[in-house]
């Protein structure tokens, strides 16, 4: 049993079938690292391979989205073609016997056929250009969302800081009534210590002394 040897393809097939039989659903990354360690694969090599697989998965997902957008563009071209040329043919039938509506239908139809061929048999360079364009658009969208989120958090923190400062200032201010009012002094609602009471009594005595003069 110990003298068995397998080439790379056989080893890949054996490991794939063993994982399929032993695992229930998706395999966690930690389990994959442990399995690779058991067969002598270094964690660095596994991480590099995982990054390549994830990059390929992302590329396939982006490619599928690009292909979907291309088909949407074609149907966005086909629907106006059918509607406009159907309208022109209807006018042509009810106005004259000369088939003038065929000229715009044929000219536009050539462009529509070329569009269809470009979707069915895409140019690899054009696909890569569309993929890169999509990646840049996604990065710009992510950057805008990040900036918007950070701005909202900063505004919220600044608002909370200003509210805290105003609240502290309002608690420290003791409003004083004018000399001609019925009450010679107004107690601040939050100044209840002995130093504030002494200051109020001193202020009241000063006001009484001014009234006498």
pLDDT on residue 193: 53
Each of the 213 residues of the chain gets a pLDDT tens digit; together they read: 456 676 777 777 776 776 666 655 666 777 677 766 766 677 787 778 878 888 888 888 888 888 998 999 999 999 999 999 999 999 999 999 999 999 999 999 999 999 999 999 988 888 888 888 888 888 888 888 888 888 888 888 888 888 888 888 887 775 544 544 444 444 444 444 555 666 667 767 766 766 665
pLDDT on residue 177: 45
pTM of the model: 0.53
pLDDT on residue 19: 65
Indicate left, alpha or beta for 191 from its phi (over 0: left) and psi (-120 to 50: alpha): beta
pLDDT on residue 48: 81
Between 43-95 and 124-172, two packed helices, what is the crossing angle to 10 degrees? 110
pLDDT on residue 174: 52
pLDDT on residue 155: 87
pLDDT on residue 87: 96
CA distance 89 to 82: 10
């Amino acid at each position: 049993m110990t003298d068995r040897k397998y080439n790379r393809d056989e080893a890949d097939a054996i490991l794939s079938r063993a994982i399929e039989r032993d695992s229930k659903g998706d395999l966690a990354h930690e389990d994959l690292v442990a399995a690779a360690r058991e067969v002598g694969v270094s964690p660095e090599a596994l991480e590099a391979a995982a990054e390549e697989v994830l990059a390929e998965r992302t590329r396939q997902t982006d490619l599928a989205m690009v292909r979907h957008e291309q088909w949407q563009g074609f149907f966005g071209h086909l629907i106006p073609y059918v509607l406009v040329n159907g309208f022109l043919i209807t006018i042509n039938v009810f106005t004259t016997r000369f088939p003038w509506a065929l000229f715009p239908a044929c000219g536009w139809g050539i462009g529509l056929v070329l569009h269809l061929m470009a979707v069915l048999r895409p140019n690899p360079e054009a696909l890569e250009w569309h993929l890169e364009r999509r990646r840049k658009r996604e990065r710009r969208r992510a950057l805008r969302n990040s900036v918007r989120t950070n701005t909202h958090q900063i505004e919220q923190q600044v608002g909370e800081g200003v509210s805290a400062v105003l609240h502290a200032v309002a608690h420290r201010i003791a409003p004083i009534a004018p000399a001609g009012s019925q009450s010679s002094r107004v107690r601040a609602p939050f100044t209840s210590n002995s130093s504030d009471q002494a200051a109020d009594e001193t202020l009241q005595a000063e006001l009484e002394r001014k009234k006498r003069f």
